[in-house]
Amino acid sequence: MRSTLVALLPLAFAGLLRADPPPTVADGARLTEVFADDRTFEGPTFDPKSKKLYFAAAGKDGSQILRLDAPGKASVWLDKSLGVAGTFLALDGRLIGAQSHGHRVTSYALGGDTAQDPKTLYFNEKLHQPNDVCQAPDGDIYFTDPDAKERKASAVYRLGKDGQVAAVVNDMPFPNGLITSPDGKTLYVSDSHLKLWRSYPINADGGVGAGKVFFEAKTDNQAEPDGMTIDATGNLYLTGRGGVWVVKPDGTPLGLIPVAEACTHATFGGDDGQTLYVTAARKVYSLAMKVKGGR
């Protein structure tokens, strides 16, 4: 592995973060490149059983899900993924995927050298392009379906444990990444059009209440907000607007992890659960942290 120059901020140099990184980053940690090629990467998920990182890749030859086997080496775990972008580790240990070209939410068995036992959790040809997905602690699944062309009919859907599907958010032009709080009481969603992040209280029935702006980065960088992850204490890790913004559950920013490329998503993993993996255009990075992931 080699450290990567991060030049967005004047105090970032030779792979080192700023002199005042977010307090959840391990002391002296370096943003380290673990994989690179000419595609865009997103939707990372770390499987604690196999100790492997899985992530989506999109390029001129189509879309795949890759598995990181060693620094700088990845194998094709799922070819022709039909546009799987966001992925999430399900409560049952399977990999959930939002399949944009296939108009569905699907899941696969982890552990093998290739994806096994594919299951369609929900299919609707009227969906625009399912983009990202997460599962709440109670088992409900939420996924975004942005109307990328008109930005008028976007929605966030809830797929209940009973198989019923309903739109729960329809007040965002371009919902993209999303995740629930560790206690399952709040749903966070990024908006790639308005370039901010919103939060919604989750009701007892799985629906959501009125949303509010959760965080809006105070920066001139206009890179679109995308995916996100969360740590065990409820801090959010929001990609876009210059890197990964670390934000407390009350919306107070703790700082920015600058990333030179357009940053797409993040997840926690590693042997101790204290490694932050960040996907971006042509790069996948790792960063040592002081905290574990929220799942």
Which CATH number applies to 33-288: 3.30.230.10, 3.30.300.20, 2.120.10.30, 3.30.200.20? Answer: 2.120.10.30
The model's confidence at residue 157, banded by pLDDT at 50, 70 and 90, is very high
- DSSP per-residue letters across 34-96: EEEEEEEEEEEEEETTTTEEEEEEEETTEEEEEEEEETTEEEEEESS-SSEEEEEE-TTSPEE
Share of the chain above pLDDT 90, in %: 92
pTM above 0.75, yes or no: yes
Domain range summary for the chain, segments of one domain joined by +: 33-288
Output the pLDDT for position 14: 32
Q: What is the pLDDT of residues 78-122, one digit of tens each?
A: 999 999 999 999 999 999 999 999 999 999 999 999 999 999 999
